[in-house]
Chain A
Amino acid sequence: MKRVLVVDYGVGNLLSVRRAFENCGARVELTGDPERIAGAEHLVLPGVGSFGDCMAGLRARALIEPLVAHAASGRPFLGICVGMQMLFAGSEEFGEHAGLGIFGGRVVRIPATAADGTSHKVPHVAWAELIPGPAAVGWEGTILSGTAGGGCYYFIHSFAPEPEDEGIRLADADYNGRKIAAVVGRGNVVGCQFHPEKSAQTGLRLLAAFLDQPSREPDPTILRRMSEASSEC
């Protein structure tokens, strides 16, 4: 049976994430124990609420180091919503906050206007279809490999990442002409801004595709970022 570890660090309700993976046939472990996390194969980092609170929750449980180590190990890593945003170097939500820094770039507020200058709603709460992002690689072999037929995902967020490297933007969503980074990924680390566990059958297919992700060779770019970050300390 497939197994997945969902990081439980005291924010939000993980019932839906657990049930969604169980629906995909996986055995789910919810834990905030750093040692369990260090031994995980497929790892999911969820997140709701504010970026700073989520990072504080990880820090208080001494989870930053094992999470970064997992990202550098080549084992499958999925971040969801704020869990995806925390993969980046930082966020401007309620002041400046440092993130895990696995990807370069910052999380910024969604513009209050559509591309044509008219005002639109923030938070962005909508079911949106994915469109190919600037990343040159296709979706084959990624968590999006089963989604070529389309389908919508449920987004609810006021902030979104601006990746330093456009090459990690696997998929975007269009919000009134504004492109939102919807799925980012490099090597074994992938994140989605939407909630697959709340995106009906389309979302369940994506979670099943994550469970099918193999471990890979550690990604050299992620390793380089990690070593630069540790030498800066």
Chain B
Amino acid sequence: MARAGRCAAPSSTRSASALANVRLVARLDVKATNLIKGIHLEGLRVVGDPQAHAQAYYEAGIDELLYMDIVASLYGRNSLLDLVRRTAEDIFVPLTVGGGIRTVEDVHGALLAGADKVAINTAAVRRPELLEEVARRFGSQCVVLGIEAKLRPEGGWEAYTDNGRERTGRDAVEWAREAVQRGIGEILLTSVDREGTRRGFDVELVRTVADAVPVPVIASGGMGTTEHLVAVARDGRADAVAMADVLHYGRLDLAAIRAAARDGAVAVRCP
């Protein structure tokens, strides 16, 4: 099978930085029962049924799914967990759930519904010990720190919460380092400046965080073309790349994305 042979070339023929396959993650922002999409995490429009989109991405060979409840109301919480349950029934790739995870019990509920990992942002900023509590109880492998980073006028990035609306006063890179000490297993790094713009990832942000921490970094926010993916994987050293808009509106399909990644010397799995 020629296709399988392209999945992982012998290690001797590749540089160390290109060895592990970069994961392609479909990010689905969810409000109540709808898949939605915004710009800079705001100005939300309804795209469709999240479950139908997730199923289609699974069948097209997505590596991972990410559901973000961007309203995180109590009502939304129940419908989100229903969605997770239905998704876990027939979709056999890792599933991360984020948005409104505030307590160890919230994490437990998401995992019982079928999530493999949870992404935590606001609650961790308010009480960083939560990261330790969740890692100790369920393992580091299921704790993803969500960082919403915004470029500072004077340089560097500040971590925000609540879909990029609330400042934290924390330096995004320092916060990433601290969270690793507290036991997180991955970082979902969203550039608020680029999110929804299709102008490409903030490669410098991703590179700075990826070089600062020993855990994998998922780059999120700004993918508009396959060149953007290649840039953030190669120059940004992202371990995984989240994409939303390009998939939800059918601007790119996964087969084309994978082919372009390989052409750009970015290893990806072949499903």
Q: Closest CB of chain A to B145's CB: distance in Å? A: 13
With A15-B114, A123-B216, A127-B21 given, is the CB distance from A177 to B94 under 8 Å? Answer: no
A154: which B residues are within 8 A, CB to CB? 63, 93-94
One of B1-9, B148-156, B223-231 contacting the partner:
B1-9
In the complex, the answer to whether A16 meets B11 with C-beta atoms within 8 Å is: no
Query: Do A198 and B7 touch across chains, with their CB atoms under 8 A apart?
Result: no
A189-203 vs B, CB cutoff 8 Å, 1 = contact: the mask equals 000000101111111
Q: Are B92 and A200 in contact (CB under 8 A)?
A: yes
Interface residues of A in 172-199 (CB under 8 A from B): 174-177, 195, 197-199
Closest to B268 in A: A127
CB pair B185 A123 closer than 8 Å: yes
A54 to B23, CA, bound (A): 28
**Segment among B43-51, B135-143, B171-179, B193-201 that sits at the interface with chain A:** B135-143
Interface presence of A229 (CB below 8 A): no
Task: Say which one of A69-77, A99-107, A136-144, A145-153 lies at the interface with B.
Answer: A145-153
Q: What residues on A are CB-neighbors of B92 within 8 Å?
A: 16, 19-20, 23, 197-201, 203-204
Bound Cα distance A154, B239 (Å): 14
Q: Within the assembled complex, what's the spacing in Å between the Cα atoms of A179 and B19?
A: 12
Contacts of A50 in B (CB 8 A): 139
B138 and chain A: residue at smallest CB distance: A49
B11 neighbours in A (Cβ, 8 Å):
174, 177
Work out how many contacts link A and B, with CB atoms closer than 8 A: 134
Shortest C-beta distance, B174 to chain A (Å), equals 19
Cα A198 to Cα B95 with chains together (Å) = 9
Q: Is the CB of A177 within 8 A of B16?
A: yes
Residues in B whose Cβ lies below 8 Å from that of A115: 16
The answer to whether A150 and B185 touch across the interface, beta carbons within 8 angstroms, is: no
Complex CA–CA separation, A126 to B137 (angstroms):
23
A residues in contact with B17, CB < 8 Å = 118
| Distance of A144 from chain B, by nearest CB (Å) | 14
Q: A127 to chain B: which residues have CB within 8 Å?
A: 21, 23, 63, 269
Known: A121-B215, A174-B19, A200-B271. A152 touches B94 (CB 8 A): no
Q: Does A112 contact B (CB under 8 A)?
A: yes
Question: A150, B4: Cβ atoms under 8 Å?
Answer: yes
Do residues A200 and B8 form an inter-chain contact, with CB atoms below 8 A? no
Alpha-carbon separation in the docked complex, A149 to B270 (Å): 12
A97 at the binding interface (Cβ < 8 Å): no
Complex CA gap A198/B93 in Å reads 4
Neighbouring B residues of A221 by C-beta, 8 Å: none
> Is A13's beta carbon under 8 Å from chain B?
yes
B90 at the interface (CB under 8 A from A): yes
Task: Pick the residue among B16, B94, B215 that contacts A123 (CB under 8 A).
Answer: B215
Write out, one digit per residue, whether chain A residues 111-126 have a CB within 8 A of any chain B CB (1) or not (0): 0101110111111111
Among A23, A152, A204, the residue within 8 A (CB) of B8 is: A152
Distance between Cα atoms of A119 and B216 in the complex (Å): 12
Compute how far the CA of A128 lies from the CA of B4 in the bound complex, rounded to whole angstroms. 12
Is the CB–CB distance between A126 and B21 below 8 Å? yes
Of the A-B pairs whose beta carbons lie under 8 Å apart in the complex, a sample of 20, sorted by A's number, is A13-B112, A13-B115, A15-B85, A15-B88, A16-B92, A48-B142, A49-B138, A118-B17, A123-B140, A125-B216, A126-B23, A127-B269, A129-B4, A156-B141, A175-B19, A175-B20, A177-B11, A198-B116, A200-B61, A200-B271
Task: Give residues in A with beta carbon < 8 Å to B.
Answer: 12-13, 15-16, 19-20, 23, 48-50, 112, 114-116, 118-129, 149-152, 154, 156-158, 174-177, 195, 197-204
Closest 5 interchain pairs by CB?
Answer: A150-B4, A49-B139, A129-B8, A127-B269, A152-B269
